[in-house]
Amino acid sequence: MISNEIKKRYNAFWDRTSYERCTLFISQRIKRNSVMEGASVTEKWTDLQRRTLAAKESYTNIKYYAEGFPTIFTNFGPGNMAACIGGDFVLAESTIWFDRNPIIKDWLKVPKLKLNEDSDMWKLMIGLTEMLCKNSNGEYYTSMADIGGSLDVVASLRGSEELLYDIIDYPDEIKKIHNKVENLWKITYNKLHNLTSSYQDGMTSWMPIWCEKRYYPLQCDFCAMISPEMFKEFVRPNLAAQTEWLDHSIYHLDGPTAVCHLDHLLDIPALDAIQWSPGDGRMPIYDESYFDMYNKIARSGKGLVLFSVPLSKLENVLKNISTKGLYVNMSVENEKEAQEAIKIAQSYGVK
């Protein structure tokens, strides 16, 4: 599906190095998609035939440059695994909620959790994944769905506010259920990976990054509400275990309240890279105030993933941070801009 040259650059990214320059995913939207126009909220998420047609329209309406490649995100909201192991879900216009009806009401009566392949969410997720794979004909990659971070799944099943109190009152119960969810996470991952890998070489995820082996963007949005000491006790052990279990991994660091955990993340040997997301209303990702953090990540031996860097800011970013193990995702208006971005990246090479 993608050239050996592109694979070589992605392999270099996963090796926490770079090949000749940083890895660039550049895309150009040709025209707006129309298949989903007029769809109700329910149709938008559950009409799998329509979503498959929309996927084909989407990839044909985008041009890709550098390491960009056609990929379709199998989107059922972040952390959808919660609704596959006993939890509930609520459809919304731009996402699906999994924490509106928590099922863990009492730590003395925790419901039995298992991957329920008869659940509505599992049938939707596995159904769309298979339809996209079968209809790709080698023209696009089908991503793995965003099954979520294991502790975030626990938070959906219990409720985030309640879980904050539980960290103090029921620490052992949290660790026990977290380990159970982590095991179910691995089972869920394997089933989805086995499906996509039977149709395509390598894999991708909601982060459009190609990998010939098993990877995943790990995360813990819940950690924005806890201290570094609590992160070390309740998050890091499971997170480290997941990085060891996977072949490669990226951590989705979301917002300024999560930055206090960066040192614990950089101390996880098998973690390959950090993806920084400043959060709504914050300084954009190319702001110079983040450059020290970017270089700290590079000095630790980790890669860095940056989304939505505009062409006008690309040179200043590359001039001031390490390009070793760097992945930049950006959009352009035309091929001329794409070639300019590639030229800028080449001028800074690997440093």
pLDDT tens for each residue of 244-285: 999 999 999 999 999 999 999 999 999 999 999 998 889 999
pLDDT at 280: 85
Judge whether residue 31 has pLDDT over 90: no
> What pLDDT does 150 receive?
97
User: Which letter, b or e, does each residue of 48-76 get, where b requires 16 or more Cβ atoms within 10 Å of its Cβ?
Assistant: beebbebbbebbeebbbbbbbbbbbbbbb
Categorize the per-residue pLDDT at 232 as very low, low, confident or very high, splitting at 50, 70 and 90: very high
Handedness of CA 152, 244, 234, 222 (dihedral sign): negative
At residue 1, the pLDDT reads: 78
Quote the pLDDT of residue 291. 98
Q: Which two tokens stand for residue 27?
A: 């895309």
pLDDT at 59: 87
Q: Which residues contact 163 (CB under 8 A, 6 or more apart)?
A: 154, 155, 174, 222
- How many Å apart are CA 149 and CA 303, to the nearest integer? 20
Query: Where in the sequence is the domain holding 114, given as residue range(s)?
Result: 4-348
pLDDT of 237: 97
Q: Is the pLDDT of residue 102 over 90?
A: yes
**Residue whose C-alpha is closest to residue 254's, from 44, 11, 79, 23:** 79
Task: Give me the pLDDT at residue 281, please.
Answer: 85
Q: Which residue has the higher pLDDT, 32 or 25?
A: 25
Provide mean pLDDT across the span 173-194. Answer: 98
Mean pLDDT, the chain, whole residue set: 97
Do 199 and 129 form a contact (C-beta atoms < 8 A)?
no
Average pLDDT score over residue span 135-153:
96
How many domains does the structure of the chain reveal? 1
Do the strands 96-97 and 90-91 form a parallel or antiparallel pair, or are they unpaired?
Answer: antiparallel
Output the domain CATH number for residue 79: 3.20.20.210
For 295, the token pair is: 């270089």
Measured distance CA(317)–CA(345) in Å, rounded: 10
With a pLDDT cut of 90, the percent of the chain lying above it is 97
* Predicted local distance difference test score (pLDDT) of residue 33: 83
Q: Is the pLDDT of residue 179 over 90?
A: yes
Give the per-residue pLDDT at 34. 87
Closest CA to 202 of 214, 191, 187: 214
End-to-end CA distance of the chain: 30
Q: Please give the pLDDT value at position 277.
A: 96
The reported pTM is 0.96
